[in-house]
Structure 1
Amino acid sequence: MTSSSTAPTAPTALFALDGSNLPFLFPADVAAALADLVDIDQDHAVTDFADAGVLPRLPDVEILITGWGCPLITPSVLDTLPRLRAILHTGGTVKKLLTPEVWERGIAVSTAAAANALPVAEYTLGMILLLGKDVFAAREDFRTSRTFAPQAPGADIGNAGRRVGIIGASRTGRRVIELLRPFDFDVLLHDPYVGAAEAEALGVRAAGLDELLAASSLVSVHAPATAETHHLLDAARLALLPDGAALINTARGSLVDTDALVKELVTGRIRAVLDVTEPEPLPADSALYRLPNVFLTPHVAGSMGNELRRLGLTAVREVERLLAGRPLAHRVEHAQLARTA
């Protein structure tokens, strides 16, 4: 008598994102790792769930791998995906992608927000170090004078013991705190959901927002965009920043009142590094393009180029956990959305 065994069938997965991003999110090695786990068409990505060519494939799909360009996943879309058990997002936030019914139907959700936090934190660290040395102003002076003018001995230049204020203990905010540890900074943290004990465990000191702004020479914003944080930094709060202080915003432009910020910057009293703005992009006549005390970049702090590979790899690792019956490492619960990015 002989016995035979049949290898389990790999679950069907589907890309739902802008297909032009596939080669960057899933280069050859990452795509091969994914193909070892699931049955997926590596060359096709869905941008319209109602497409007649797509509809016949949806009933078998168990895993959706989503990303930038994915259409909204509504209850009617979910009805066409009866076997769906997980949505693995290769971007950061899923707030504008998923409706509450996803969680109500027991579908697991994860994102690559943690992987995307790393390049944003790296950008922030670089800017903090450069601002502390007043590199941007020195560059402008050197460009016009063509001579080297040493700073006066008592000038507030350098990063020895400089106080840095972090607004928001988000994934990115925590990565920034982690990256700052080897340096000689005094770090304050404001986050209404983080108490003194948790802040101490992170190696920083908890502070009220107004206290942080008044006491920090460098302030970096890492809070989510919510109704609660809209124009969190308004005219009154920006006025609390000490003369010569610098504001870094890599979070969302809506956290800062742009008009109030421009008024402060025009005086030359403070400096700013802005990777995000409100609106985005800025109008062509915005003073932020011209002010010498502003370093403006076009939303480049997040994953770009070879950094996109990490986002795809995050989804692959989540598929591995899902198939092994282990908890997702980056699971998103619906209750978290109100206070996260």
Structure 2
Amino acid sequence: MMRPKLAFAMSPEKTRHVFNAALLSRLSACCDVVATSPLQNLDSAESRAILADTEVLVTGWGCPMLSPAILRTASKLRLIAHAAGTVKFTVDPSAYARGIRVTHAAEANAVPVAEFTLAAILFANKRIFEFRDLYQADTSRRSSHRLMDENVGNFGRTIGLVGASRIGRKVAALLQHFDFEVLLYDPFVQPGDPVTAGADLVDLDTLMARADVVSIHAPSLPNNRAMIGPRQLELMQDGATLINTARGALVDEAALLRELRSGRIQAVIDVTDPEIPPPDSLFFSLPNVFLTPHIAGAIGTERGRLGLMAVEEVERFVRGDTLLYEVEPALLERLA
């Protein structure tokens, strides 16, 4: 049986650590690798010649859009294995009409986001950054001791999860190891869903009003834009924390900054809209904001998990086994 021909399409600068030597060796063991250097300009004559012979295309961050014209060039293509998260900005829907199968590594990218979120929840309830600032300003620890007598700590706190995405579900599972009450808002989750075994389904306003920490895990879709608006933010308890590792567009940031300026709530923000705020944005200067540059997802060595998942899917495809992370056309509209 002839082995399928495989090529890569991604940006080497953005995908360092995704495929190490061991993973590349596994791909070579099940496929004939047409070109080891990733394709970056799919319109070049060289790229088109490679694509015309490719049956398995491994894509990643920096891959140009696989447009209908490009897909027509890749006339033998049978599988697109995306070694990253969403495929909405990489794969044109016409791929499905061609019978091309698509798989992605969003499940792998969800792992570090869930870990980051858990750490943020634990630190937020412990008010760790406030303690740091107090200690730096008052080495006698008197002000730190006063804060210890307030409503701080992780025992018996209420955590609200907005969205039962793959990340939201991973966070919910991690929270079961702690003494938390977990609330969940997701209009697509029905009673009896496995996630409800560890989280109580509530409406969004109830979640915002009751949670000590609100963590956002909804997809960024047109109907979700600014879903956390002035009303929801005003419902948050004094001293509560908002965590956003999803997308900045899900939050009305002007309303959020108004609440933050009052000092009434705190925020852990990994994503903003726009992706990089203006230099004079209060996100950079408010003491009750912990801002990070979109690092919750796979960075550094964590990217190796993306490559591993893509390689395992290619191996399943070659063996004729069921793909575990196939992207079905019907799910595209609900993907982030």
User: What TM-score comes out, normalization by structure 1 length?
Assistant: 0.95
The answer to whether residue 105 in structure 2 is matched with residue 112 in structure 1 is yes
Q: 1:82 aligns with which of 75, 93, 118?
A: 75
Which position in structure 1 is the counterpart of 2:271? 276
* Partner Cα distance (2:333, 2:26) in 1: 34
Offset from partner CA, 1:143-201 (integer Å, 9 cap, x none): 21123131467521111110000000001101111111111110001011002321664
Q: Is the 8 A contact 1:216 1:242 kept in 2?
A: yes
% identical equivalent positions: 44
Secondary structure of the 2:215 match is strand
* Partner Cα distance (2:94, 2:130) in 1: 51
**Superposition misfits of 4+ residues, deviation over 6 angstroms:** none
* Partner Cα distance (1:36, 1:45) in 2: 18
Secondary structure of the 2:246 match is coil
Alpha-carbon distance, 1:304 to partner: 0.7
* Partner Cα distance (1:45, 1:155) in 2: 55
Q: Is the 8 A contact 2:161 2:214 kept in 1?
A: yes
RMSD between aligned residues:
1.4
Alpha-carbon distance, 1:46 to partner: 0.8
C-alpha distance 153-61 of structure 1, shift in aligned 2 (>3 A): closer
Alpha-carbon distance, 1:334 to partner: 1.6
Q: 2:162 aligns with which of 160, 167, 182?
A: 167
Amino acid at match of 2:59: T
Secondary structure of the 2:57 match is strand
Offset from partner CA, 1:13-65 (integer Å, 9 cap, x none): 11010023455111111111111111115631111211112222222110110
Q: Is the 8 A contact 2:7 2:33 kept in 1?
A: yes
C-alpha distance 127-102 of structure 1, shift in aligned 2 (>3 A): same
* Partner Cα distance (2:272, 2:195) in 1: 32
Amino acid at match of 2:163: G
Q: Is the 8 A contact 2:267 2:290 kept in 1?
A: yes
Q: Name which of structure 1's ranges 330-339 and 33-42 shifts more when overlaid on structure 2.
A: 33-42
Alpha-carbon distance, 1:202 to partner: 3.8
Which position in structure 2 is the counterpart of 1:231? 226
Which position in structure 2 is the counterpart of 1:198? 193
Which position in structure 1 is the counterpart of 2:37? 44
C-alpha distance 53-132 of structure 1, shift in aligned 2 (>3 A): same
Q: Is the 8 A contact 2:15 2:60 kept in 1?
A: no
C-alpha distance 95-226 of structure 1, shift in aligned 2 (>3 A): same
Q: 2:311 aligns with which of 316, 325, 329?
A: 316
Pairing 1:6-155 to 2, within 5 Å after superposition = 8-21=1-14, 23-41=16-34, 43-148=36-141, 149-151=144-146, 155=150
Which position in structure 2 is the counterpart of 1:4? none
The answer to whether residue 321 in structure 2 is matched with residue 326 in structure 1 is yes
* Partner Cα distance (2:110, 2:195) in 1: 22
Q: Is the 8 A contact 1:189 1:199 kept in 2?
A: no
Q: Is the 8 A contact 1:111 1:332 kept in 2?
A: yes
Secondary structure of the 1:237 match is helix
Unaligned segments of structure 2, at least 5 residues: none
Q: Is the 8 A contact 1:75 1:99 kept in 2?
A: yes
Q: Is the 8 A contact 1:89 1:315 kept in 2?
A: yes
Which position in structure 2 is the counterpart of 1:245? 240
Amino acid at match of 2:215: S
Q: Name which of structure 1's ranges 47-56 and 265-274 shifts more when overlaid on structure 2.
A: 47-56
Q: 1:264 aligns with which of 259, 277, 287?
A: 259
C-alpha distance 132-31 of structure 1, shift in aligned 2 (>3 A): same
* Partner Cα distance (1:50, 1:141) in 2: 57
Secondary structure of the 1:155 match is coil
The answer to whether residue 330 in structure 2 is matched with residue 335 in structure 1 is yes
C-alpha distance 270-22 of structure 1, shift in aligned 2 (>3 A): closer
Q: Is the 8 A contact 2:161 2:168 kept in 1?
A: yes
Q: Is the 8 A contact 1:196 1:205 kept in 2?
A: no
Q: Is the 8 A contact 1:170 1:340 kept in 2?
A: no
Alpha-carbon distance, 1:9 to partner: 2.4
Secondary structure of the 2:235 match is coil
Q: Is the 8 A contact 1:199 1:205 kept in 2?
A: no
User: What TM-score comes out, normalization by structure 2 length?
Assistant: 0.96
